[in-house]
Amino acid sequence: MEEKTLSQVLIKALHYVKSFRGQVFVIKLGGEVMCDERVMDCLAEDLVLLNSMDIKPVVVHGGGRDISDAMKRFGKVPEFVEGLRVTDAETMDIVKMVLIGKINTGIVAKINKQGGSAVGLSGKSGKLFMAQRRKQKIDLGFVGDITEVNTELVSVLLEKNYIPVISPVGFDSGGDSLNINADTAASRLAVSLGASKLVFMTSVEGVLDKKNKLISKLTVKQAKKLIAEGTASAGMIPKLEACIHSVEGGVARAHIIKSREHAFLQEVLTSKGTGSMVYLK
Ligand SMILES: Nc1ncnc2c1ncn2[C@@H]1O[C@H](COP(=O)(O)OP(=O)(O)OP(=O)(O)O)[C@@H](O)[C@H]1O
Ligand SMILES: [Mg+2]
C-alpha cells in the first residue's frame, strides 16, 4: 500500500476510534471460527489492537464442531432441535470439557500471545449466568435459559483493561450446570453490559434470503419474519433471535459476519462492512 493511502486509512480509522472510545463490544465466536488457527491469530490481534485504543472487547464463544467431534469419540450421536443441542448428563460433561477446558483456554492463550491480557470465565464465574432448565415439549436435557446476568465481575475486569473470554455454561439454583446457546448468552451479556455493538463471527457470509442471497441490512421486523416463515433455520434461529434481543435492548447494531482474517477489525474500524447488520428501524 502506498504511504499516502496508508495514512488515509489510519486517519479514517481515527474517526471510529474516537466515537467508540470506552465502549463495550461483545464478540461471539462460532465453533468453526476457532478451528482456523490463522483466523484466530488475526482476531486476537484485532482484539488487542482495539483494547489498546480503549475499546473494551468481551468474547463469548460457542463450540459446535469440537463438541460434536468429542461426542462422537465418546460414542454419542449429536442431536439438535431448532439449533439447540440435546444435552444429557454425559453430553454436559463433554460440553464443559470442550468449552471450558479446550476452547476457552485456547482463545485466552491466543490473545495473551499477542500482548493482551485475557481472562477465561464461564457463566458460573461470579454468578455471571444464572439459568433454569428449558421447559418445552421435546426435552432437551441440560439446556438452560438465562434467568439472571450478573455483570459485576466482567465490569471489574473491563475497568482494568482485561479481555474477558466467556464459555456459555450457566448453572441453576440446584447447582446443576446448564448448556446455554452461545448466541443467546452473548446477546444477554451485551444488553446487560450496555454494549454498543454485538458481532457474531460465523461460518456463513451472513443472513441469506430464500434465494440464498445475502441480506446486508435488516430491521428487527424483517428478522422476525425470516424466522416465522422458516427462511432462517437451525443455528440461524438463535442467532437472529439474539440480534433482535440485543437491538431491542439498546445495543445499537448487531452484525453477523463470516470469519476471515481481520474481518472483525474491518467491520468496526472501516466503512467497508461485510455480512448482515440488524438494527431497530
Ligand atoms: N437464512 C439463513 N442464512 C444463513 N445461514 C442459515 C440460514 N438458515 C440456516 N442457516 C444455518 O445457520 C448456520 C449458522 O449457525 P451455527 O449455529 O451453525 O453457527 P455458529 O453459531 O457460528 O456456531 P456455534 O453454534 O458452534 O457457536 C449456518 O451454517 C447455516 O447452515
Ligand atoms: Mg450456533
Residue 124 has pLDDT above 90, yes or no: yes
CB of 14 within 6 A of ligand 1: the answer is no
Minimum-distance ligand to the CA of 232?
1
CA of 11 to the centre of ligand 1 (A): 35
| Mean pLDDT to the nearest integer, 12-34 | 92
Q: In this predicted structure, what is the pLDDT of residue 65?
A: 85
pTM for the predicted model, two decimal places = 0.95
CB of 64 within 6 A of ligand 1: the answer is yes
- Which value, in Å, is the radius of gyration of the alpha carbons in the chain? 18
Q: In this predicted structure, what is the pLDDT of residue 2?
A: 79
Residue 67 has pLDDT above 90, yes or no: yes
Q: In this predicted structure, what is the pLDDT of residue 82?
A: 75
H helices of the chain, in order, are 3-20, 37-52, 64-73, 89-96, 105-113, 152-159, 182-193, 220-228, 236-248, 263-269
DSSP structural state of residue 234? T
Nearest in space to 253 (alpha carbons), one of 15, 16, 3, 37:
16
Residue 23, all three cell numbers:
465502549
CB of 207 within 6 A of ligand 1: the answer is yes
> How far, in Å, CA of 124 to CA of 119, rounded?
14
Q: How confident is the model at residue 83 (pLDDT cuts 50, 70, 90)?
A: confident
Q: Output the residue whose Cα is nearest ligand 1's atom 17.
A: 235
> How far, in Å, CA of 168 to CA of 217, rounded?
27
Q: In this predicted structure, what is the pLDDT of residue 55?
A: 97
CA of 204 to the centre of ligand 1 (A): 7
Q: How confident is the model at residue 91 (pLDDT cuts 50, 70, 90)?
A: very high
CA of 72 to the centre of ligand 2 (A): 19
Q: Helix or strand or coil: residue 180? A: coil
Q: Helix or strand or coil: residue 139? A: coil
> How far, in Å, CA of 57 to CA of 157, rounded?
11
In angstroms, the Cα distances linking 39 to 48, 55, 62, 215 are 14, 21, 16, 24
| Mean pLDDT to the nearest integer, 187-196 | 98
Q: In this predicted structure, what is the pLDDT of residue 119?
A: 98
Q: How confident is the model at residue 84 (pLDDT cuts 50, 70, 90)?
A: confident
Per mean pLDDT, which range of 109-113, 150-154, 271-275 is the poorest?
271-275
CB of 30 within 6 A of ligand 1: the answer is yes
Residue 22, all three cell numbers:
470506552
Domains of the chain: 22-279 (3.40.1160.10)
Partners of residue 177 on adjacent β-strands:
171
Nearest in space to 182 (alpha carbons), one of 144, 137, 222:
144
Higher pLDDT, 118 or 281: 118
Q: Which residue has the cell 446486508?
A: 216
Q: Helix or strand or coil: residue 272? A: coil
Q: Tell me the best of 231, 236, 258, 259 to mutate to test the pocket of ligand 1, counting ligand atoms within 8 Å of each CB and taking the most.
A: 236
Mean pLDDT, the chain, rounded, equals: 94
> How far, in Å, CA of 233 to CA of 204, rounded?
13
> How far, in Å, CA of 262 to CA of 245, rounded?
27
Q: Tell me the best of 203, 258, 264 to mutate to test the pocket of ligand 1, counting ligand atoms within 8 Å of each CB and taking the most.
A: 203
pLDDT > 90 fraction of the chain, expressed in percent and rounded: 85
**Nearest atom of ligand 1 to the alpha carbon of 33:** 22
Higher pLDDT, 281 or 236: 236
